[in-house]
């Protein structure tokens, strides 16, 4: 975690049967409104990225995961954000949109479908190509 960054974010790239789960950010969001993104969110005081991911997926999707091990799929740093994206292939519980105020839709997408969406980050297509068949 980089204490000098304003926004410290941990996200999950949930993968199942060759598809990725993405959430559509509400048009009322101050940052990145009306685009598809990975579920996740800001680290709270005292949390590391793995702990934040577990909490955020519980809050946003209603699922429980084991904290990821190893390295994140993607780490992005700039003056305003420190973001880590973790690959998640196992969870307990049925995925639901448990945070409709944050995202107005969730969906599973194949590679070709994900590539055609309005995405929160220009780097996501390369990540999709790396992880999805």
pLDDT band, residue 28 (cuts 50/70/90): confident
State the pLDDT at residue 1.
45
32 pLDDT more than 50: yes
78 pLDDT more than 90: no
Spacing of C-alpha 84 from chain mean position: 9
Q: Where are the domains of the chain?
A: 7-128
Give 38-70 pLDDT, tens digit per residue: 999 999 999 999 999 999 999 999 999 999 999
Instruction: Average the pLDDT over 24-46 and give the result.
Output: 91
CATH topology of domain 7-128: Nucleoside Triphosphate Pyrophosphohydrolase (3.90.79)
Residue 106 makes CB contacts below 8 A (sequence gap 6+) with: 21, 22, 23, 24, 39, 61, 95, 97
């Amino acid at each position: 975690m980089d204490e000098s960054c304003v926004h410290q974010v941990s996200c999950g790239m949930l993968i199942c049967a060759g598809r990725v789960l993405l959430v559509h950010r509400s048009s009322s969001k101050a940052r990145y409104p009306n685009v598809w993104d990975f579920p996740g969110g800001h680290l709270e005081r005292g949390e590391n990225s793995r702990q934040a991911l577990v909490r955020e997926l519980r809050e946003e999707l209603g699922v429980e995961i084991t904290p990821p091990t190893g390295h994140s799929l993607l780490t992005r740093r700039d003056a305003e954000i420190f973001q880590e994206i973790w690959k998640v292939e196992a969870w307990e519980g049925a995925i639901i949109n448990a945070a409709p105020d944050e995202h107005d839709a969730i969906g599973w997408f194949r590679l070709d479908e994900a590539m055609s969406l309005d995405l929160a980050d220009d780097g996501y297509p390369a990540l999709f190509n790396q992880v999805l068949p």
